[in-house]
Amino acid sequence: MNIAMMNRRRTFATVLAAGAAAALTSRLALAESRPAARNIVMVHGLFADGSCWSEVIARLQPAGLNVTSVQNPLTTLDDAVAEAQRVLDRQDGPTVLVGHSFSGMIVTQAGVDPKVSAVVYVAARAPDAGEDYTALAAKFPAPPASAGIVFDGDEGRLTEAAFLRDFAGDLPEAKARVLYAVQQPFHKALLTGKTKDAAWRSKPSFYAVSTEDRTINPDLQRFMANRMGATTIEVKASHLSLISHPQEITALILQAAGRT
């Protein structure tokens, strides 16, 4: 590593530490005053559909929570945020908004809704307002799954090999193949959107880092979690921790809802 790169990383770390400290202080004050939530709204990311939250939903409902999994259209960021907003509009009272993977973009934007009492990121993107997420991610080594994306015209998806190895690597192969069969394609335009707001700057924030993730670099996840001053857990899991480790993810959501 050359001296210039070392200096850039030191500056990056200094800015991160200062920002995280300020964010954490603000978030702790908010957490002490917010009411318990009775609603949970979840959003899925690329290469998936709303059913990917099934294992977590089955654990949240017995706690008396009203849970909804949004069907993300995977067309444009504006379309995806609008769909999540329609679901939020139907909620009665404080609501925790949860996003996995790409849908962290949606949580970051739609999470400014007054009904949202906390935001939860599960191995998810967490950009700042107006930030170029691609440029941010480029500061870290590219994850293996990025090489497995193929396009059919405007639609992108993961190859079967990449899905099984880099997306769902800690799931039984038979289960991973079922998930691959229902993989939803995304539109190229989806990746060009930028968030206009950053909910994590004003809402209590929670983050589950997947330490074995081959879809979003775990160090990038840690950076985003630290920057927002999030209550953070680390799960020894692939990108699909919500399926392979639903108990840990459920516990984090319950904490965000004030139900622990």
Please give, one letter per residue, the 3-state secondary structure of the chain: CCHHHHHHHHHHHHHHHHHHHHHHHHHHHHHHHCCCCCEEEEECCCCCCHHHHHHHHHHHHHHCCEEEEECCCCCCHHHHHHHHHHHHHCCCCCEEEEEEHHHHHHHHHHCCCCCEEEEEEECCCCCCCCCCHHHHHCCCCCCHHHHHEEEECCEEEECHHHHHHHHCCCCCHHHHHHHHHCCCCEEHHHHHCCCCCCHHHCCCEEEEEECCCCCCCHHHHHHHHHHCCCEEEEECCCCCHHHHCHHHHHHHHHHHCCCC
Domains of the chain: 3-256 (3.40.50.1820)
What's the pLDDT score for residue 10?
53
What's the pLDDT score for residue 260?
73
**pTM, full prediction:** 0.88
What's the pLDDT score for residue 33?
57
Q: What is the pLDDT along the chain (260 residues), one digit of tens a residue?
A: 455 444 545 554 454 545 544 555 445 444 455 689 999 999 999 999 999 999 999 999 999 999 999 999 999 999 999 999 999 999 999 999 999 999 999 999 999 999 999 999 999 999 999 999 999 999 999 999 999 999 999 999 999 999 999 999 999 999 999 999 999 999 999 999 999 999 999 999 999 999 999 999 999 999 999 999 999 999 999 999 999 999 999 999 999 999 97
Report the C-alpha gap between 203 and 71 in whole angstroms: 24
Select from 122, 164, 166, 165 the least CA-distant residue to 146: 166
